[in-house]
Amino acid sequence: MSQGTERESWGPYPLILAGAAIGTLVILIVNPRWGGFVLGAFIMIAAALRFAGYGGQLALRSKTTDVITLSGFGFVLVLTSLLLYNNELKALILSLFAP
């Protein structure tokens, strides 16, 4: 197997795996709010890399499905981490869904 093929097969997977490890450590050591933000940011980076065509081992389904799923999950994780200790922002978002 040539060097280019091996690198291409892994794609950005090591970067995303390192981001997940960093985010988990931040959750455990520093603060759950910032750890969730880091995890969500790395998941959105994975979505951007998948959209750009650098799938590698991240490519499990079609490109569209991967990008939508990763973007949605990353966005929800970042939003949840921002709402964790912010009661005013939480009240604003909940007021959007009030009848």
**Per residue in 1-23, pLDDT tens?**
445 555 556 767 788 888 889 99
Return the ∠ at Cα 32 (arms to 26 and 35), rounded to 5°: 40
Percent of the chain with pLDDT over 70: 85
Supply the mean pLDDT for the chain.
Answer: 82
Which amino acid type is present at position 15?
A: L
Percent of the chain with pLDDT over 90: 23
Global pTM exceeds 0.85? no
Of residues 12, 74, 91, the one with CA closest to residue 37:
74
Domain limits of the chain? 3-96
Maximal CA-CA distance, the chain: 61
**Per residue in 39-73, pLDDT tens?**
999 999 988 888 888 777 666 778 888 889 889 99
